[in-house]
Homo-oligomer: A and B are copies of this chain.
Amino acid sequence: MKTKITKLFNIKYPIIQGGMIWCSGWELAAAVSEAGGLGLIGAGSMYPDILREHIIKLKKATNKTFGVNLPLLYPQVDEHIQIILDEKVPVVFTSAGNPKKYTAYLKSRGVKVVHVVANSKFALKCVEAGVDAIVAEGFEAGGHNGYEETTTLTLIPTLRPMIDIPLIAAGGIGSGRAMLAAMALGADAVQIGSRFVASTESSAHINFKLKVLEAKDGDTKLSLKELVPVRLLKNRFLEEVEMAYHHKANKKDLENLLGHGRAKRGMFEGDLEEGELEIGQVSASIHDIIPADEIIQEMIADYRKALKNMPIL
Contact = CB atoms under 8 A, between A and B. Distances in A.
Identical chains bound together, number: 2
Given A181-B182, A185-B181, A304-B313, A175 B157 contact: yes
A221 interface: yes
The size bracket of the interface on A is 35 or more
Given A181-B181, A185-B181, A311-B183, A140 B148 contact: no
Nearest to A157: B285
Given A184-B184, A184-B306, A221-B149, A281 B311 contact: no
A149 to B, nearest CB: 7
A3 interface: yes
Interface string A273-294: 0000000111011000000000
Closest 8 CB pairs of A and B: A148-B218, A181-B181, A153-B172, A180-B184, A154-B281, A151-B151, A181-B184, A140-B151
Interface of A: 2-3, 13-14, 119-120, 138-140, 147-155, 157-158, 171-175, 177-178, 180-186, 216-218, 221-222, 248, 280-282, 284-285, 300, 303-304, 306-307, 310-313
